Chains A and B, each alone.
Chain A
Amino acid sequence: MLGVLVALLGVVPVQAQKSAADGIAEYRKMLEDGNPAELFEARGEALWKQKRGPKGASLEACDLGKGAGVVKGAFVELPRYFADTGRVQDLESRLVSCMQALQGFDAAAIANTPFGRGEQDNVTALATYVAASSKSLRFNLPQSHAEERRMYEIGKRVFYFRGGPYDFSCASCHGEDGKRIRLQDLPNLTKNPGDGVGFAAWPAYRVSNGQMWGMQLRLNDCYRQQRFPFPGFGSEATVALGVFMGVNAKGAESIAPSIKR
């Protein structure tokens, strides 16, 4: 009897201590079943196969790093070095390169389009489709090319670079365990933050504003919150940060496209 009582007493405080993060995790779990990211994934798949653009071609010949047209597994090995463009590219900048090379779109015009509009919206849908094709695979970014290692070092510097009116860096929020902004837990991105956390969770659907966000927009918003000038779409700084986070996340399981508050 006493044992039961003790056991009960042992359980109650644990329940009472349910943190806000647990509550949010529960909420996310409930939403997962009807993740509207699936709608973007379906649209991205249709866009991938559709003949579009001035050249009237599909993206099915696009090389995402695993050979022309190979989508599955490509996401967990990006950003990587591409010989044809001569630079390290992340998923979104690579998609734009393919849209230019194969379909005849103007890459600079897409890069200057605000997120969520016109072709930029299509890039997000395509990125969602490509990322979803690597769901539950583990991150394994290549670091064999000198340029990939150089980008990792640049990414590390950008990550720790303090500046702006708040004297912030990425590391101010994402350099330690257990930090949060209001109720949002912040992943420690200086190491592998775990399966489906940080780099392994984007693109994601944000319930609060009903928008699909790719990594480029995620980083853009991080810089907005730091009151930095906005980095250019697909710029070297953003890709370098992608390499830094992606290499650090080696072995983490990708859950993208995920769902966020």
Chain B
Amino acid sequence: MSDPMRIRAQAQGDKAVVRVLMSHEMETGLRKDSAGKNVPAWFIQEVNASLNGKPVFNAFWGTAISKNPFVQFTIKGAKAGDKIVVDWVDNRGDKRSDEATVT
């Protein structure tokens, strides 16, 4: 089971800035281990975010994204008290979903 994400969402006027920090190895598949064998690729493939259940953000990621990725985006019309849910799926099918409230 992967570690939880850190999600912060701050209302700024009629928008909310969402910052998400994810815990993931993000292996490219190009690295070799000490025995000289390829370390298999292992990365987050899809990221979704929703505001009060309505999808607002969708991204397809690949191996170019760094380890422990950080993503920031702005949602128009979000206000304090709204619920934000972020989830990701990696290429092994592992999932993680965390939520935060806009402050």
Contact = CB atoms under 8 A, between A and B. Distances in A.
Interface in B26-74: 66-68, 70, 72
Interface residues of B, number: 11
Given A210-B66, A210-B68, A34 B19 contact: yes
Contacts of A38: 6, 21
A39 B19 contact: no
A39 B66 contact: no
**Most chain-A CB neighbours within 10 Å: which of B4, B68, B72?**
B68
> Main SS of the interface on chain A?
loop
Contacts of A33: 19, 70, 72
B3 interface: yes
A43 B66 CA distance: 20
Contact of B3 (A34, A39, A210): A39
Contacts of B6: 38-39, 42
A207 B75 CA distance: 28
> Main SS of the interface on chain B?
loop
A210 B67 CA distance: 6
Interface of A: 33-36, 38-39, 42-43, 207, 210
A207 B70 CA distance: 12
B3 A43 contact: yes
Contacts of A36: 21, 23, 67-68, 70
Given A34-B19, A36-B21, A210-B66, A42 B72 contact: no
B19 to A, nearest CB: 6
B83 to A, nearest CB: 20
Contact of A42 (B4, B67, B70): B4
A43 B67 CA distance: 16
B23 A39 contact: yes
A34 B68 CA distance: 10
Which 10 interchain pairs have the tightest Cβ spacing?
A: A34-B70, A210-B67, A36-B68, A39-B23, A38-B6, A34-B21, A43-B3, A38-B21, A39-B3, A39-B68
Interface string B67-87: 110101000000000000000
